[in-house]
Amino acid sequence: MMKKIVGSALSALVAAAMLVPSGAMANTDAKNISDTPPRDLLENVVYEKDYWEFLLENHPIFQYEKEGRVVGKIHLSDRQEEFIDFRDADKYAERHPELERAAVTYRLGKETFLDFPNKYVGPKTCGECHPAQYEKWTRSRHANTVRFPDEMIEIEKFGLKDLNSPMFPEVGPASILPEGVDAKSVYAIIGTPRTKYGFLDSYLVRGTYHVRDGLLSEGTGTIVAGTNQFSRGWAESITPEVAKKIAEYVDGFPTTIDDFNAIGGRGSNVWGVTSYGSNNEEKLMFQPASSYCEVCHTMKFNFASSEEFFDALGDAKKLQEATIARGISCEECHGAGGHMVDGNGGGMPSNCERCHQRFVWNEAAQEADERNPFNSYFKSACPSCGTEGSQMYFSAHYEKGMRCSTCHDPHEVTKNDWTSDVTYTNQKKACKDCHEVQGEFFANSGKGHQAGGCRGCHMPNMGSCENFAEIQFPDQGGFDNVRASHIWNIKVDKDAKTLNPPEGAPRTPGKGWTIARDDENRGYLDLMWSCGRTAFADASLLDGNGCHSPVQSKLPKSLHFKNQEEVYGKVVKWQSPVKEGYQHVRDTVKKIDRAIGKSKLSNSEKAQVLGLARKAREIADKVEKDGAWGAHGARYTQGLINEAVIYADEAAALMKL
């Protein structure tokens, strides 16, 4: 059985590349793989071959399997699967005969932890000469997303006995590490208190399982697929009581563990612990960090050779002691050694897009616009984490040259306490710095809207970190949504939906969901996501007293929006009189412009007419530039339009039109 699995793991393309005669295929002969970067895509895939061979021979999971102590099928996932076979990358490559292969969704960094010796110096060395940047970085989640078990300050913060203690015991037994996986068997924990925790074991393999009736560190018990990743949103916020409240207006929302498992998603045995990279008791992904995790949740070691590396595998302490850098540290963007090695000069071999611009090739997008045949990456019915850049790619902001660092300071991606359950990013620019007119209108809106800020409506939390499909109900604006969207463009429509399945498919979580685009081929937000979403880690929503969420809002119940039609009715109620008044002003001023030249009024009277018409036109121009037609400040906008109508009508009366 294992030989067959091994055969499928080193997929056909890689296997072929390893066997072709030298020179038969450029850059694909395993004997000619470069020992140092740069490497082409296939070389990067083949480069982890020795590591895979070691794991298949030595990782304890295969001993468990040999002894019949594994519940669930083991699926081996390598770089071939993640970087070449993934999300129709092969179909995209077929459209370009000059490309033998393509990586559409994931991107490898310039260096990998499999480079020996690597030239990383580590963030502490960078910090010696760049203390200002280092200070900001140390307080960010980028710096703390990969931590060793003894660095988990959550034990003290939440009053835990250890990493297997319930984090929110009043809700359930969900713990940072899953059942049967203790700190001894873990190299590092991936994640922060904001969203989730996963783990890498002492062989640097992703933890997609728990251990029943035993301990992984002792080789006892049974490895069981799934129930492996702590979810703060589920463990703390979506309690059984809250789930029942949601189910009152969302048909099919699960309220018990049995409900979660009956839906047919990934399932779980513990409230607050999802099955990530696995299906509970059915299937688990065996995937080393080199194949997936290190793209964004990185680590680098000081091993001089692969022999030293292989000798340390299986010993978490040895790996930890040899670690030079981890998390999203300085050199992941600036390159190994920064300006100290290889003349990088402090350049940027990687940037934000490496982790935050995940695409998929999409046939419908290709047919709609040959120039833009891509969409954002979805694992189910909500955009995946790391798609902020691919969402922004199809926006007016991106077209005008805006990039991540236009607004964000990459050294201080977390402005508030990184152990908080919400994120406030340090903004180099605020929306009003560029959108001055909109800022004026919004400054005259109600206090409730102002509390949530611009992003309260224009950047709702919509992205998923966990592929928690069982609670993804996008038409109701929830509930597996912990990442801010980067679309901004709101479409006022009763029926149009931002997130959609393939044409003809049911509106339930599955493969092939995409972000809709308007007539200008730009993504848009529907009204439910903008106004009526439920999001427990959405800072703007929390600051805005729950906005209009039926679950979180502190507003009167008449302002709790359970569906998009309710939101649309409210918005149209604001916009209709503004639009009517605006059109009246435009029509009236147009008549004045046509008639003024033929008028027999005195110059003094004409000056009065033109002055009034100019004031009306300036207000109309301002309202048009704002573009929200009352949504940025209903009373203020209506007041301006009323003023413009008075000016226009007075001018028309003087001309007896």
Give the tens place of pLDDT for each residue, 354-404.
Answer: 999 999 998 888 888 888 899 999 999 999 999 999 999 999 999 999 999
Q: Is the pLDDT of residue 219 over 80?
A: yes
Whether 614 maps to a domain, the answer reads yes
pLDDT recorded at residue 448: 81
Do residues 323 and 376 both lie within one domain?
no
User: What confidence tens digit (pLDDT) does each residue in 280-294 have?
Assistant: 999 999 999 999 999
CA distances from 623 to 441, 529, 609, 627 (A): 9, 24, 21, 6
In this prediction, residue 32 has a pLDDT band, given cuts at 50, 70 and 90, of low
Instruction: Residue 242: give the domain boundaries.
Output: 123-340
Do residues 407 and 377 both lie within one domain?
yes
CA distance 65 to 69: 5
Terminal Cα-to-Cα distance of the chain (whole angstroms)? 90
Last residue of a domain, one of 529, 560, 591: 560
Amino acid identity of residue 292, one-letter, is Y
- Tell me the DSSP string of 79-116: HIIIIISGGGHHHHHHT-TT-S---SS----S--TTSS
Whether 515 maps to a domain, the answer reads yes
pLDDT recorded at residue 346: 58
CA distance 279 to 286: 12
Whether 346 maps to a domain, the answer reads no
pLDDT recorded at residue 8: 38
CA distance 499 to 379: 13
Do residues 257 and 391 both lie within one domain?
no
Rounded mean pLDDT of the chain?
A: 91
Last residue of a domain, one of 560, 591, 626: 560
Amino acid identity of residue 301, one-letter, is F
Q: Can you list the pairs that 255-264 forms with residues at least 24 positions away whose Cβ atoms lie under 8 Å? A: 260/470, 263/469, 263/470
Do residues 319 and 362 both lie within one domain?
no
Burial of 228 (0-12, 13-18, 19+ CB in 10 A): buried
Q: Is the pLDDT of residue 4 over 70?
A: no
CB 195 within 8 A of CB 465: yes
Total domains present in the chain: 4
In this prediction, residue 259 has a pLDDT band, given cuts at 50, 70 and 90, of very high
Map tokens 């046939």 to a residue: 363
Do residues 468 and 535 both lie within one domain?
yes
> What is this structure's pTM?
0.92
In this prediction, residue 228 has a pLDDT band, given cuts at 50, 70 and 90, of very high
Give the CA angle between residues 375, 378, 379 to the nearest 5°.
155
In this prediction, residue 20 has a pLDDT band, given cuts at 50, 70 and 90, of very low
Burial of 27 (0-12, 13-18, 19+ CB in 10 A): middle
In this prediction, residue 350 has a pLDDT band, given cuts at 50, 70 and 90, of confident
CA distance 348 to 372: 26
- Tell me the DSSP string of 472-541: -BGGGTBSS--EE-----B---SS--SEEPSTTS-SSS-TT-EE-B-TTS-B-B-HIIIII---TT-HHH
276-290 as b/e: b if 16+ CB within 10 A: bbbbbbebbbbbbbb
Whether 325 maps to a domain, the answer reads yes
Do residues 378 and 509 both lie within one domain?
yes
If we measure between CA atoms, which residue out of 228, 153, 227 comes closest to residue 193? 153
Do residues 646 and 550 both lie within one domain?
no
pLDDT recorded at residue 33: 64
pLDDT recorded at residue 39: 82
User: What confidence tens digit (pLDDT) does each residue in 504-558 have?
Assistant: 999 999 889 999 999 999 999 999 999 999 999 999 999 999 999 999 999 999 9
Do residues 467 and 544 both lie within one domain?
yes
Strand order in the sheet with 186-191: 146-147, 186-191, 196-201, 229-231, 273-274
Strand order in the sheet with 209-212: 70-71, 222-225, 209-212
CA distance 624 to 517: 22
Residue 175: DSSP 8-state: B
CA distances from 271 to 91, 237, 257, 425, 538 (A): 39, 11, 7, 30, 22
pLDDT recorded at residue 341: 65
534 conformational bin, left if phi > 0, alpha if psi -120 to 50, beta if neither: beta
Residue 288: DSSP 8-state: B
Do residues 407 and 290 both lie within one domain?
no
CA distance 634 to 382: 31
Helix, strand, coil share of the chain (percent; to 5): 40, 10, 45
If we measure between CA atoms, which residue out of 193, 273, 228, 194 comes closest to residue 71? 228
Whether 89 maps to a domain, the answer reads no
In this prediction, residue 10 has a pLDDT band, given cuts at 50, 70 and 90, of very low
**455 contacts: CB under 8 Å, gap ≥ 6:** 431, 484, 540
Map tokens 């926006």 to a residue: 395
Residue 631: DSSP 8-state: T
Whether 449 maps to a domain, the answer reads yes
User: What confidence tens digit (pLDDT) does each residue in 174-195 have?
Assistant: 999 999 999 999 999 999 999 9
Do residues 133 and 224 both lie within one domain?
yes
Whether 168 maps to a domain, the answer reads yes
Residue 351: DSSP 8-state: -
Do residues 265 and 284 both lie within one domain?
yes
In this prediction, residue 6 has a pLDDT band, given cuts at 50, 70 and 90, of very low
CA distance 19 to 49: 13
Q: Is the pLDDT of residue 7 over 70?
A: no
Is the link from the previous residue into 117 a cis peptide, with omega within 30 of 0?
yes
Q: What is the CATH number of the domain that holds 584?
A: 1.20.140
In this prediction, residue 446 has a pLDDT band, given cuts at 50, 70 and 90, of confident
Q: Can you list the pairs that 165-171 forms with residues at least 24 positions away whose Cβ atoms lie under 8 Å? A: 167/230, 167/232, 167/235, 167/236, 167/272, 168/235, 168/236, 168/272, 171/235, 171/236, 171/239, 171/240, 171/271, 171/272
Last residue of a domain, one of 16, 49, 77: 77
Whether 82 maps to a domain, the answer reads no
CA distance 174 to 274: 10
CB 540 within 8 A of CB 456: yes
Beta-bridge partner residues of 11:
none
Do residues 142 and 252 both lie within one domain?
yes
CA distance 502 to 320: 45
In this prediction, residue 16 has a pLDDT band, given cuts at 50, 70 and 90, of very low
| 3 state SS of 362 | coil
